[in-house]
Structure 1
Amino acid sequence: MSGRDKQQRFQRTPGKGQSRPRGGAPAWRERRERPDGPAILYGWHTVAAALANPRRRIRKLLLTENAARRLSDENIDTRVPPEIVRPHLLDARLGPDAVHQGFLAEADPLTAPELGALPREGIVLVLDQITDPHNVGAIMRSAAAFAVNAIVTTARHSPEATGVLAKSASGALELVPLVSVQNLARALSELHDTGFLTVGLDSEGSADLGSVELRQPLALVLGAEGKGLRQLTRQTCSVVARLDMPGAIKSLNVSNAAVLALYIGASRLGLMK
């Protein structure tokens, strides 16, 4: 998790399913830069979960013949008349690296709850300018596994809830509300004022998370790749804790740190029953 993880300092080159820089960007990247653009969802788990979510309005559904047959075999209602296309058309639409499995949906973004409406029990995750959509998607998947009430993220310096993030979340985008805030420090203060214990995670934390006295509602705050928690974020948290490791490598990728922190938090709070 630590922002000091040296592996996170290196510039990533676009890999499989990863978003590309402008100029080589798939068409959906250009459309999502408009605020009224649809969320682009692709891949079996992502699209099937969206179709099963009554809160998700599907605008358009593109399927290969095999994908349409799979939905029929699984008795999943397409909700809108699908357009049957050949796989190469989806490749052209999304880019050759996108693992679409024959499924592509355009949908309205989900409505997020207000910060003050979050439950006063359980756990929420707060992401401090984590920019890699693969990491955020993996964190969302872990959050769904641990029944996290919401993920709070910054409006700027965070990926859109579409494309690569949605694919990496493997359906979790439909299960865990994503709350976007303009000012993270102010949001943390609001959470604190409404009863949350806000615990920042950083390699320079004053205590190991396993020894911190935790209570509900709990907000676990994770820092950005390469930088960790910003100074104002650290100052706003109730506690800044670390994850002690017994091995030679003392820090984790942020998505791995998230699942470890969630396990510790859920276990300590009695939420694993």
Structure 2
Amino acid sequence: MAGNSQRRGRSDGAGKKRATAGTGGKNRRSLVGRGATPPAEARPGHPAQRKAAAVAHARSERARARARSEETPELLLGRNPVVEALRARIPATALYVVTGDVGSGRAGAKTATDERITEALGLAADRGLPLLEVGKAEFDRMSQGALHQGIGLQVPPYDYAHPDDLIDLARNSGRPPLLVALDGVTDPRNLGAVVRSAAAFDAHGVVVPQRRAVGMTASAWRTSAGAAARIPVARAVNLARTLGSYQDAGLQTVGLAGDGDVDLHEYDGFADPVALVVGAEGTGLSRLVREKCDVVVRIPIDRDTESLNVSVAAGIALYAAGMARR
């Protein structure tokens, strides 16, 4: 109203507004820009942030579970697997047998079952392994509900070598180093078969990645038919970096892939220090590992055959290496 000269934006009577007072620095901070909006995953309380945190937590839990499993003994279950493992003399610390479990079914099946358990008991006694009798309910809990057929063999965690140890072993052997590196192989039977072939053709050791690959489980031990006791297996934190260190040590890294640049029979470097690199089942060599290969060779096969099993391909290449060295 007229005469109210204290009102902000008051009129001077001529219809014009006078200048209003500024902030005077009192609220200057509120005028400063806050920068770019952070992504949804970084905003506390945002659904995307909660989802990202849950995924990170799940990965951490899986990593911890994998680490715990590698530090604890493995329980190999079943009558045939246990007998085969004892025949192959894989490392073991105890034999579990369910109290009073002597088989079931028809007389013939029962006799066969009794023979397998009897053989397992005899093989364990010859090695001085402790025989531990447990109740069925307790063994069901120990085996987490898996089919155990009343018997189980406790296998200790595998004692892996360091990748550099394989170089030292090769240098002390008086023969040019021959190593086998497996890139992402996830089937323990393939790992065991490669270990068996590596031992058969005088390789100095096998390297497996620490992540996204199988380790030396009881199944791998059994498939190696005892070869895992004669040849060391190393575990690499970063396989590409390990291959780089092998190159620095004078080894040529030879990749094996269906789309390789050179036929296997045309490659003439197997008599020299070599690290043979074999890819995973189906996916083959990963990009980073393939980039670390000095040469990639292929095994010529019939066009109607898509690919070879990884352990078969490794065996063929190791045979070629063995022939070149002999």
| 1:31/1:37 contact within 8 Å kept | no
Give the aligned residue type for 1:265: A
1:44 equivalenced with 2:60 (yes/no): no
Deviation, 1:116, is 1.9
Alpha-carbon RMSD: 3.3
TM-score normalised by the chain length of structure 2:
0.61
Q: Which residue of 2 aligns with 1:191?
A: 246
1:61 equivalenced with 2:109 (yes/no): no
Larger deviation: 186-195 or 131-140?
A: 131-140
Deviation, 1:207, is 0.5
Q: Which residue of 2 aligns with 1:80?
A: 129
- Alpha-carbon distance in structure 1 between the residues aligned to 2:303 and 2:151: 42
Match of 1:217 among 265, 269, 273: 273
1:257 equivalenced with 2:306 (yes/no): no
Greater helix content: 2
| 1:152/1:180 contact within 8 Å kept | yes
Structure 1 residues 40 and 175, CA, compared in 2 at 3 Å: closer, same or farther? farther
- Alpha-carbon distance in structure 1 between the residues aligned to 2:71 and 2:290: 34
In structure 2, list runs of 5 or more residues that go unmatched: 1-64, 103-113
- Alpha-carbon distance in structure 2 between the residues aligned to 1:140 and 1:32: 23
In structure 1, list runs of 5 or more residues that go unmatched: 1-29
Structure 1 residues 85 and 208, CA, compared in 2 at 3 Å: closer, same or farther? farther
Q: Which residue of 1 aligns with 2:107?
A: none
TM-score normalised by the chain length of structure 1:
0.71
Q: Which residue of 2 aligns with 1:134?
A: 189
Larger deviation: 74-83 or 119-128?
A: 74-83
Deviation, 1:157, is 0.7
Q: Which residue of 2 aligns with 1:113?
A: 161
For these two proteins, the number of residue pairs brought into alignment is: 233
Deviation, 1:159, is 1.5
- Partner of 1:79, secondary structure, is coil
- Alpha-carbon distance in structure 1 between the residues aligned to 2:257 and 2:246: 19
Q: Which residue of 2 aligns with 1:23?
A: none
Larger deviation: 108-117 or 206-215?
A: 108-117
Percent sequence identity is: 31
- Partner of 2:93, secondary structure, is strand
- Partner of 2:69, secondary structure, is coil
- Alpha-carbon distance in structure 1 between the residues aligned to 2:135 and 2:115: 10
| 1:198/1:237 contact within 8 Å kept | yes
| 1:116/1:194 contact within 8 Å kept | no
| 2:253/2:275 contact within 8 Å kept | yes
- Alpha-carbon distance in structure 2 between the residues aligned to 1:192 and 1:40: 39
- Partner of 2:289, secondary structure, is helix
Give the aligned residue type for 1:59: T
